[in-house]
Amino acid sequence: MVEFPIRPFMGLMGVASDTSEPVHSVPPAIYGGNLDINELGAGSTLYLPVEVAGALFYTGDPHAAQGDGEVALTALEHSMHPTFHLTVLKPGDKGLPVSGHIAHPMAETKDYWIAIGLNKDLDEA
């Protein structure tokens, strides 16, 4: 019998992008999207810059387990009914972790900060 320790998280989390063009669902960008960061489970915080007034949050692609990112494209996916606590932090709000402004996605867990590097060129990311 093979067993996998599970650490549930949502692979997709994001807000509306400031564009009138179609947005591809696979590569993540400044607005979030297909981040697949296995550290973003229960108790973590994801900070996303909001580019559009009234932008709604979206989520999907639940995982029970996955390695770090989209390296091998292998995950244990399953059905899940997560609960989120959403807070809008305006520029200058003391709840923002960096200089009162979020220009790029970032995250934190109870143990550390997560710098989220995003670029089509993985060396740049």
Angstrom distances, CA of residue 26 to CA of 52, 77, 95, 125:
20, 16, 30, 16
Q: How many CB atoms lie within 10 A of CB 103?
A: 9
Q: Please determine, for residue 63, whether its predicted confidence score (pLDDT) is greater than 80.
A: yes
| Res. 122: pLDDT tops 90 | no
Count CB atoms within 10 A of the CB of residue 15.
21
Whether the per-residue pLDDT at 67 is higher than 70: the answer is: yes
Give the model's pLDDT for residue 12.
94
Average pLDDT (94-123) is 86
pLDDT above 90: residue 16: yes
The whole-number average pLDDT for the span 74-78 is 85
Contact 120, 48 (CB under 8 A): no
The SS3 assignment for 14 reads strand
- State percent of the chain over pLDDT 90: 58
The confidence band for 61, taking pLDDT boundaries of 50, 70 and 90, is very high
Nearest CA to 8 among 85, 54, 64, 91? 64
Tokens of 96: 């923002």
pTM of the model: 0.89
**What is the arithmetic mean of pLDDT over 93-113?**
87
Task: Please give the pLDDT value at position 72.
Answer: 65
Domain boundaries, the chain: 1-125
Determine the pLDDT at residue 31. Answer: 94
pLDDT of 97: 79
Closest CA to 61 of 7, 13, 105: 13
Q: Is the pLDDT of residue 101 over 90?
A: no
* Spatial distance between the Cα atoms of 97 and 48, rounded to a whole number of angstroms: 12
